[in-house]
Amino acid sequence: MPFSTLERGAFASAEGITISGNRTEGASRAWGPCEMVMPDCATGATGEGERPMGDAVQAGDLKQTPLFDLHAELGGKMVPFAGYSMPVQYPLGVMKEHLHCRAAAGLFDVSHMGQVIVKGADYAAAAAAFETLVPMDVLDLPEGKQRYGLFTNAEGGIEDDLMFANRGDHLFVVVNAACKDADVARMKAALAPEVSVELISDRALIALQGPKAEAALARLNPLVADMVFMDVVTLPLMGAECWISRSGYTGEDGFEISVPEEAAEALCRALLEMDEVEAIGLGARDSLRLESGLCLYGSDIDTGTNPAEASLLWAVQKVRRADGARAGGFVGADAVLGAIAEGAARKRVGLLPQSRAPMRAGTALFESETSETPIGEVTSGGFGPSLNAPVAMGYVDAAFAKADTPIFGEVRGKRLPVVVSKMPFVPAKFKR
């Protein structure tokens, strides 16, 4: 999820580092199979139309975040990701980075994501306009709070997932890196000229996640300890004006911090000097979100996925549903509300392989060892370090979506048992 969203993330496995089941371009072959495919947000293509980040991408073609030099100094293994050079891991290694974040505090660079200011005559004007693009309650969001959202298309599919916050006189929106240009164009086309849309280019975005994140950040400003989950505040950190949310993409308590780019490195260095804090790469970020049952855009949800089948109806508030005070009125409303009323033919579910073999994205799922027709497919899968076992998520026909349903996944030509599971696999630890 953005502030807490990662498109096509990375996860640790017994075989090495995998990005959404594929090889990340630029990653060493010694790590194991690792290919990365990015969602084609600009054209609205489905998974079949995704573009591989092929070997033609050169280091000089990649953008760098304001923390690039720090990553290099820390020994980060840099790989192409959403058009940026990003750290997939540090010398600590993906497994230890993952476990450190669960036990203490991890620091992530997510500056590649899009930070956007949406502003009208007042908050109500901006919120009412924004509601034409998302099936969420934006108008009633209290000041100083943020909410998860979805951009939908005419067919009810998901163009991107995002976070939006009420910052008093405007909305602050965070979108996925691979989709940010298309998202900004979408917002400008729908909202201008009454509502302005500005992509922020002079701020970094970092996340501090884990049970000791509050203790670490409170050393720089004790007021962060007063925040609860989904709060958004503006506070100084080391003299820099920071936009801070208590949220994240790991299932742990933590913060996401928008900081002026000229102050970002000093802030990160101050945090990394603390005993609790370690730098964490994209690899562990993805295994953390997978254990927490959080969607990965371009893998678990995409332009062909309806929120009802993605099990995201908790994000569609009653006021926007049929018979609500502001029912519909967003792109694809008929398709989304129709799926809510009629039920989805397939459902996103958690999956627990019953052997040690991970079930990767693309693994076909079957009712039995001998049935011929697949009932679904894995969309994300790998090793869950916190569980010391493989975990996955995917879609199955609705008849097989009940927790504890035994099914089979086909791995290298063999049918292996897997059990449908509730998510998250690791309980969320947000401060409420």
Q: Does 27 have pLDDT greater than 70?
A: no
Average pLDDT, the chain: 89
How confident is the model at residue 60, as a pLDDT?
73
Q: How confident is the model at residue 58 (pLDDT cuts 50, 70, 90)?
A: low
How confident is the model at residue 43, as a pLDDT?
33
Could you give the C-alpha distances from 40 to 13, 52, 99, 186, in angstroms and in order?
27, 10, 32, 14
Lowest mean pLDDT among 3-17, 154-168, 323-337: 3-17
pLDDT in tens, 252-311: 999 999 999 999 999 999 999 999 999 999 999 999 999 999 999 999 999 999 999 999
Q: Calculate mean pLDDT across residues 330-346.
A: 98
Q: Calculate mean pLDDT across residues 335-343.
A: 97
pLDDT in tens, 110-121: 999 999 999 999
Q: Does 403 have pLDDT greater than 80?
A: yes
pLDDT in tens, 161-190: 999 999 999 999 999 999 999 999 999 999
**Is the separation of the CB atoms in 399 and 386 below 8 Å?**
no
The Cα–Cα gap between 313 and 333 comes to: 13
Give the number of other Cβ atoms within 10 Å of residue 84's Cβ. 19
How confident is the model at residue 394, as a pLDDT?
98
The Cα–Cα gap between 80 and 54 comes to: 10
How confident is the model at residue 32, as a pLDDT?
26
User: Comparing 60 with 198, which gets the higher pLDDT?
Assistant: 198
Lowest mean pLDDT among 13-22, 175-184, 382-391: 13-22
Query: Dihedral sign, CA of 391, 393, 398, 401?
Result: positive
pLDDT in tens, 281-298: 999 999 999 999 999 999
What's the predicted TM-score (pTM) here?
Answer: 0.90
Tell me whether strands 105-109 and 277-279 are parallel, antiparallel or unpaired: parallel
How confident is the model at residue 339, as a pLDDT?
97
Ramachandran assignment for 157, one of left (phi > 0), alpha (psi -120 to 50 degrees), beta (any other)? beta
Q: How confident is the model at residue 373 (pLDDT cuts 50, 70, 90)?
A: very high
Domains and CATH numbers, the chain: 10-108+203-291 (3.30.1360.120), 345-432 (2.40.30.110)
Q: Does 20 have pLDDT greater than 60?
A: no
Single out the residue of 405, 301, 314 nearest to residue 351, CA to CA: 405
How confident is the model at residue 227, as a pLDDT?
98
